[in-house]
Structure 1
Amino acid sequence: MNVEQAAGNSATNGRRKRLPRAEREQQILAVAEQVFATNSYQATSMDDIAHRVGLSKPMLYEYFGSKEGLLVACVERARRELLDATTEAAAGAAGDSAQLLHDCLLAFFRFSDDHAQSWALLRNEAAIPVATVNTELEATREQQTELTARLLEASRPELDQVRLEAFAESIIGACERLAMWREKRPEITAEHATQHLMALISPSLMPQA
């Protein structure tokens, strides 16, 4: 059963039983994420989302205030999911700091596979001229950069903060480009992408004499 079918069933049941607000919000976000990722922000209307969720448009505005507010909430949720995936990988990894970084990179690429709609939302909405959305997108990059910098610091404690930040920013940029490249090269698995990137950055993880 896909998201839209589930939302339709919930809407039917909702006539008999009112959903808690938090559960309803998650239902709306799931449908909106799918629609935004498929149709783009500009081509999506609040009427369309309201219809698919089974709510009136005024009720949708009551929850999120505007289409922009709904998109921001979708991006925020995708950002939390990405952070959860990468920090869980770091917490569960065994071995040295290079292995930790490897596992976090692998988690990022698997996230783009397993959460295709979330990834499409994070990637495709970068061109939207909406300040709050761009702020959320940049916050996503910053959270991943901070996590990467901490892992790099464990490998190279002698590096100064500026060099750590520069390395981390470069790795996150490379992750985004590789994830986009993989869309044109479906034979490249998450594991392959991780191996390619680790081959590039591994020399920088070795302490300098």
Structure 2
Amino acid sequence: MPRAERERQMIEVAEAVFAERGYAAASMDEIAERVGVSKPMLYEYFNSKEGLLLACIATSRAQLREATEESVTGATSAEDALRRGLLAFFVYIHERRQAWSLLRQEMVLIGTSASEEIEATRRQQTDLVAKLMTGYLDLGSPSRVEAVAEIIVGACERLAIWCERHDEVTPERATDYAMAVLWGGLVERTG
């Protein structure tokens, strides 16, 4: 099997094990067994359990960025861009629950490189929101744009966690909830 394909397979299995057991309880032995490789091979590819976790988070971050960036292509207004971006986020977390669980388990990982990677994912989304809003709305100073982007990302993270407890809430419905609060506040500030 080509190295890149084997690496992808290892990351997918590790993501599932980390999501099922949590990072601390997950074992490299179990991951290696599920992949069908030796434990030393995992270490050869990723150096450590934390290295494997970092690879999982980096993969999730790249996929989330791609999904949200693609979703806003062709947006015709700030409202359209925000709605498309929010929907892409909620679809991602709905369809990729294991990846999402890695990104939301930040408290367990504080003080590790993984918490820095999770924060990098958050900054990635915040930067994308700020860039989009700047292109469509006059929010004033750069610090205000950044603050608005942080509020949007933080609110959506909490709503996503709430959605986990409410299976009946579709990504579309979550987007509607978020838009009702967020867009109304943005329009009021720029109107």
User: What TM-score, normalized by structure 2, do the two folds share?
Assistant: 0.94
| Counterparts in 2 of 1:120 and 1:158: CA distance versus 1, 3 Å | closer
Residue of 50, 53, 65 corresponding to 1:71: 53
What CA distance in whole angstroms lies between the structure 1 residues aligned with 2:165 and 2:135? 34
* Equivalent residue for 2:128, pick from 125, 137, 147: 147
Q: Percent identity?
A: 48
Residues of 2 paired with 1:197 and 1:108: CA distance?
Answer: 11
Q: Looking at CA atoms only, which structure, 1 or 2, has the larger radius of gyration?
A: 1
Choose from 10, 31, 37 the match for 1:55.
Answer: 37
Count of aligned pairs: 190
Partner of 2:119: 138
Deviations 1:170-209 (CA, angstroms, capped at 9, x unpaired): 1100010000001112221111111111111223333745
Task: Kindly state the Cα deviation for residue 154 of structure 1 after the two structures are TM-superposed.
Answer: 2.4
Unaligned residue ranges in structure 1 (runs of 5+): 1-18
CA distance in 2 between partners of 1:129 and 1:53 (Å): 28
CA distance in 2, matches of 1:135, 1:170: 19
1:55 is paired with a residue whose SS is: coil
- SS at the partner of 1:77? helix
* 1:125 CA displacement: 4.4
4+ runs deviating over 3 angstroms: none
Per the TM alignment, residue 158 of structure 1 is displaced from its structure 2 partner at its CA by 4.8
Residue 160 of structure 1: CA displacement?
Answer: 0.9
Correspondence 1:35 to 2:43: no
**Measured at CA, do residues 125 and 40 of structure 1 come closer, stay the same or move farther in structure 2, by a change above 3 Å?**
farther
